Chain A
Amino acid sequence: MRTWITPGGVHPPENKHQSLTMPIGTLPLPEKLLIPLSQHIGTPAVPCVEVGKKVLKGQKIAEASGPLSVPMHAPTSGTISAIEHRPIAHSSGMLAPCIEITSDGRDKWKKHEGFKDVENATPAALVKAIGDAGIAGMGGAGFPSAVKLSPGYQRPIHTLIINATECEPYITADDSAIRERAAEIIEGIGILSHILGNPSNIMIGIEDNKPEAIAALEPHVEDTGISVVSFPTKYPSGGEKQLIYILTGKEIPSGDLPADIGMVCVNIGTTYAVKRAIVDGEPLISRVTTMTGDACGINRNYETLIGTPVSHMLANSEFNKETCSRLVMGGPMMGFSLTSADVPIVKTTNCILAPSYDEIPDDEPAQPCIRCGMCAEACPVSLLPQQLFWYSQADDHERLEAHNLFDCIECGACSYVCPSNIPLVQHYRHSKGEIQKARAEKVRSDHARERFEFHQQRIEQAEKDKEAKRTARREAAEKAKAKAAASPEKSASTAGGGAADIIAAAQARAAAKKVSPEQQQAKFERSIAGAEMRLQMAEEKLADAGDGHSDEQKNILTAAVEGARQKLEQAKGRLAEHIKQHNGEQVD
């Protein structure tokens, strides 16, 4: 089958053989497991257990907190021993809410069963089951799979791409899973295809450095309409955008999602999790993780329970701290360094790399950029990394955006080849964060200005209202006087205060009634304040998402900001409408 060639790319030493000498193994049950509530893109899950509660393996311990969220399940049976903030694997080294389970050693499953008749299940029911199983993309980004599989009717899917590229050096989690579990993987792909309305084109994209995996898949795809497409090994072919281009020759327009051009791309590890969830009724509580690097005596893949501390994995792999130059979660190109081994394996952890100093020495100090252009030759999305670096140092946001900084996928190919050892990606991340902060700042200050102007307008309006009221009262009083003058006998017949008083009283009553519109106004104002707060929160979240998150997530967050902004506009509109009416009533 024809494949296309992406620009740029690099060929770092693959180092995959080390972890492929043994089949996928299992680790002894860790004493404690730590399940972060946010292992995916989206809102964190909400605990549905208390400390002290006994749980069975597979039992739900945290609920999804909204459409872009996934639930968490107990990876083994035991007791909830803590629900608190703990260090997790995040590039910022931050603390995050986690549930800790102390294992009871029995590893006892809750009762579970899958769909009896998958073929006749509705896509909606299957998607719901996938969501309930807590499945989020296992290739790295952790996008909730149920969301990805519901592209909506306006976007029919014609192409389903299964990403088995695994282009990062060292990692063999997908490779080994395919070798051992090809049948189940293909079953999973069948389920995805059913959910997406049987797309006409289903491809498994795999690099040609995995002949065993390709051979394992081939017998299972016969007569399924699924094609296994292999292509030359090059980093980073496994990026979603790169893979789509390699397999179809199509590019996803900047800022769009694959679904916008009728495609869905799913990691091959996810398809296995889908099969387990649908056919066997098992939630996602473990995954294949590669343990590799020369600082470990044992290099292999483990079926690892989510929540297993990295230290537990190291302890069972003859780890030698002395020779270890750094500890990386993920691969050597895009993985992030862990400062502590106490953090847990999560749903997106495909590899723990513990290299020796010989393998990955400490970084050399950066030298000046000589503008040699090797970085530009390596960039898979045709950016000019040297220019981005130049403008990043100058904090020239305008130029950075004109040079498409936000299309940088942070693959690290540029830094990899840079002869001056410049940590380019680090600069880009920093600049992305700065620009997003500035954008959020601008939006906020625009709002503040609008708010101020609106406030001014309201004060003026109130002045006008008062003036109008006074005029009305005066006129009414004069009218009454004139009336009284015209019919003195009538006036005499009424009590001494005269008609003016009666009218004044009536007006007072009316004014009393008018408190209600004012209350109404206050209510509108409150709802504006609420909407503003929500908008601000959404913007902050978007700004925070600067680092290393997929476009997909950013799009969703951007959509959230947009939604919040519209709500705010509506609320303001209602208030303005109200004031106009209110005012109108008074003048009339």
Chain B
Amino acid sequence: MAFKQISSPHAHASQNTAKVMQLVLWATIPGLIALTIHFGWGSLINLVLATVTAVIAEALIIKLRGRPVSFYLKDYSAVLTAVLLGLALPPLAPWWVVVVGTLFSIVIAKQLYGGLGYNPFNPAMVGYVVLLISFPIQMTTWVTPAALLPEGISHPGLIESVQIVFSGLNPADGVTGATPLDSFKYADGLLVDQIYAQNPLFSQAAFAGVGWEWVNIGFLIGGLVLLASRIFTWHGPVAMLAAMTLMSVIFYDGGSSDSPGSALMHLFSGATMMGAFFIMTDPVSSAVSNRGRLIYGALIGVLVYIIRAWGTYPDAIAFAVLLANFAAPFIDNYTLPRTYGYTDRRRATEKEEDS
């Protein structure tokens, strides 16, 4: 009687990588719904366009690398990158913006570094930053929230949206406008209270910015689901949000005309919650240990705030995450956990003493 030789352990939990990725994909739905309600069909079109591009690009590259295509496509990692990028891009952005960004994410930032698990930078954010630098106009044109559209104008319907995206048709006047972070940044000489009173983005908002607050709540809900499913630990997101809160409290400046804005605005504007739960939690490019992820998260929080407050870009998740990706190996070096039986943590580069 011959039996197979298989190394231990023989039992295995039912989790697998594809399931993890799928769960993350499902968890973007509340955010996507909020985006669609408040900003129209654009995000959904982005998402589909990016996904198709990503899957084709990934399949081609895997084929070029001589690997089994279906085995690698089945891990859903390309789809996830595409979906995150699609959600981050401005709704109704021209199709080629989405395609170029996705190609950059998948081909350069992911596959050229060796594919899933080997990319030092978050692929979606690499794509995003490349677009932001190359096509600043398209990348900073946001759709006006539904509630603030001028009388008699509504968001384009699905068909019309597709036409806008593919044929360069211009949306009706007033459909695009500034984001809360934009308006706040360029509202020079006004006290915080004045901005809140004058700008409908704030005056008609519940607490942080019309539409945006709901988008952020959507991503927060999805993120909490992932946290509860132990897809990631709390360390990164909590550290990031805490650091942002702390920074905005310290530098609030009493609401003066130089104030970079309140903590609530920073937490619930722009891509904050998406960044905290869907972007910086990308495990591949982040720090490794829980303690490392605390530092990594805090670093992102601080960087986001610094760039938002004093940099030239109104939002900063992508830059902050990429900068922190650079720092991750360094953070890892000093944040190994303390192993059982040791009095202290070690450094990753420590050498055994010659005995």
Contact = CB atoms under 8 A, between A and B. Distances in A.
Interface class of chain B by DSSP: loop
Given A241-B340, A326-B10, A367-B75, A403 B15 contact: no
A383 B337 contact: yes
A389 to B, nearest CB: 10
Contacts of A321: 1
Interface string A422-464: 0101100100000000000000000000000000000000000
- The range of chain A's interface size is 35 or more
B206 interface: no
Interface string A241-263: 10001000001111110000000
Given A327-B3, A419-B15, A371 B117 contact: yes
A390 to B, nearest CB: 9
B8 A251 contact: no
Contacts of B15: 374, 417, 419
A370 B346 contact: no
Contacts of B286: 371
Given A371-B283, A381-B339, A403 B232 contact: no
B17 A376 contact: no
Given A251-B341, A383-B337, A374 B8 contact: no
Contact of A426 (B7, B12, B16, B77): B7
Interface stretch (B159-167, B212-220, B243-251, B347-355): B347-355
Interface in B100-158: 115-118
B349 A399 contact: yes
- The range of chain B's interface size is 35 or more
Interface stretch (A102-110, A128-136, A329-337, A573-581): A329-337
A571 interface: no
A333 B11 contact: yes
Contacts of A371: 117, 283-284, 286, 288
Contacts of B283: 370-373
Given A373-B233, A374-B15, A254 B341 contact: yes
A380 B341 CA distance: 12
A286 interface: no
A411 B75 CA distance: 27
Given A10-B13, A382-B339, A368 B3 contact: no
Nearest to A407: B339
A334 B16 contact: no
Which among A13, A381, A402, A412 has the highest number of chain B CB atoms within 10 Å? A402
A488 interface: no
Which among B10, B19, B20, B342 has the highest number of chain A CB atoms within 10 Å? B10
B340 A381 contact: yes
A337 B4 contact: yes
B20 A416 contact: no
Contacts of A369: 117
Given A333-B10, A368-B116, A376-B289, A324 B3 contact: yes
A317 to B, nearest CB: 14
A476 B69 CA distance: 92
A384 B20 contact: no
A468 interface: no
B231 interface: yes
Contact of B7 (A340, A355, A404, A423): A423
A386 interface: yes
A179 B76 CA distance: 50
Contact of A373 (B3, B288, B338): B288
Given A253-B341, A367-B75, A339 B11 contact: no
A365 interface: yes
Given A340-B2, A371-B284, A376-B289, A241 B9 contact: no
Contacts of B289: 376, 384
A12 interface: yes
B5 A339 contact: yes
Contacts of B77: 370
Interface in A391-422: 398-399, 401-404, 407, 410, 412-413, 415-417, 419-421
A383 B341 CA distance: 11
A327 B8 CA distance: 12
Which among A93, A253, A415 has the highest number of chain B CB atoms within 10 Å? A415
A169 interface: yes
Contacts of A93: 5
Interface class of chain A by DSSP: loop
B64 interface: no
Contacts of A48: none
B3 A365 contact: no
A254 B87 CA distance: 49
A373 B115 CA distance: 18
Given A372-B283, A419-B17, A420-B17, A337 B5 contact: yes
A426 B75 CA distance: 23
Nearest to B20: A419
B339 A383 contact: yes
A377 B2 contact: no
Contacts of B8: 328, 330, 332-337, 410, 412, 415, 425
B71 interface: yes
A330 B232 CA distance: 33
A398 B348 CA distance: 9
B182 to A, nearest CB: 35
B6 interface: yes
Contacts of B351: 398, 402
B231 A372 contact: yes
Contacts of B12: 363, 415-416, 421
Contacts of A333: 8-11
A324 B2 CA distance: 11
A103 to B, nearest CB: 22
- Nearest 5 interchain pairs by C-beta: A412-B9, A254-B341, A368-B117, A381-B340, A332-B11
16 contacts: A10-B13, A241-B340, A330-B8, A336-B8, A339-B5, A363-B6, A363-B12, A367-B17, A370-B17, A370-B116, A371-B288, A376-B290, A383-B339, A407-B341, A412-B9, A417-B15
Interface of A: 10, 12-13, 91, 93, 169, 241, 245, 251-256, 311, 321, 324-328, 330, 332-342, 353, 355, 360, 362-365, 367-374, 376-377, 380-384, 386-387, 398-399, 401-404, 407, 410, 412-413, 415-417, 419-421, 423, 425-426, 429
Given A254-B340, A330-B8, 7 more contacts: A12-B13, A251-B340, A333-B9, A374-B230, A384-B337, A402-B346, A421-B12
Interface of B: 1-13, 15-17, 19-20, 71, 75, 77, 115-118, 230-233, 283-284, 286, 288-290, 332, 336-343, 346-352
